[in-house]
Amino acid sequence: MGIISFQGARPKIKKQDETRIKVSDYMTRDLITFTPNQSVMEVIETLVKHKISGGPVVNTEDQLLGIISEGDCIKQLNESRYYNMPIDDAKVEKFMVKDVETIDGNLNIFDAANKFLQTKRRRFPIIEDGKLVGQISQKDVMKAALKMKGQNWHDK
């Protein structure tokens, strides 16, 4: 004879549906962007003023051309000093990273976190229909984790 339960049917506690927690839900859409013909000094002023570590470089059609970061700006400062060149002449297109890895806005936030760990990048642009629509940063992923901490997203 088997064990008889008198509690009746109980609903199973479901794990948070990770596939519905998308990058697009947590990405930044209001981005500070740069153009290839801007001076690196303008970029430095913007980075310092807005307390950001870099940003996407786009053309007039909002197509992603590259990313410029604090490190790229520091490299330019170092080169201008070494070669005794005027700093104001340096343009973004010479110092930006052109081979930019993007991330899909439909990717779930946990896969995005894994991609950050694998690549050691600080941010990924999100492209839709050939245009830059947003950016996800490591900080955005942490914000998502804080919002979900009340939920059992790490159930056994």
**Which tops the pLDDT comparison, 95 or 152?**
95
CA-based diameter of the chain, in Å?
91
Alpha-carbon torsion, ordered 34, 39, 43, 48, to 10 deg: -160
For residue 123, what are the β-bridge partners? 137
* Residues, the chain: 156
Alpha carbons within 13 A on the beta-carbon side of 93: 7
Mean pLDDT of 21-34: 94
Residues 6+ apart with CB under 8 A from 72: 40, 54, 95, 96, 97
What pLDDT shows up at residue 19? Answer: 47
Is residue 17 predicted with pLDDT exceeding 80? no
Is residue 99 predicted with pLDDT exceeding 70? yes
**Residue range 102-143, pLDDT digits in tens:** 999 999 999 999 999 999 888 999 999 999 999 999 999 999
Domains, the chain, ranges and CATH? 19-148 (3.10.580.10)
Is residue 4 predicted with pLDDT exceeding 70? no
Burial (0-12, 13-18, 19+ Cβ within 10 Å), 62: middle
What pLDDT shows up at residue 120? Answer: 86
What pLDDT shows up at residue 63? Answer: 96
Q: H/E element holding 82? A: helix 70-82
What pLDDT shows up at residue 57? Answer: 97
What pLDDT shows up at residue 1? Answer: 53
**Residue range 51-93, pLDDT digits in tens:** 999 999 999 999 999 999 999 999 888 887 766 766 667 899 9
What pLDDT shows up at residue 80? Answer: 77
DSSP per-residue string spanning 34-75: B-TTSBHHHHHHHHHHHT-SEEEEE-TT--EEEEEEHHHHHH
The answer to whether the beta carbons of residues 109 and 137 sit under 8 Å apart is: no
What pLDDT shows up at residue 151? Answer: 61
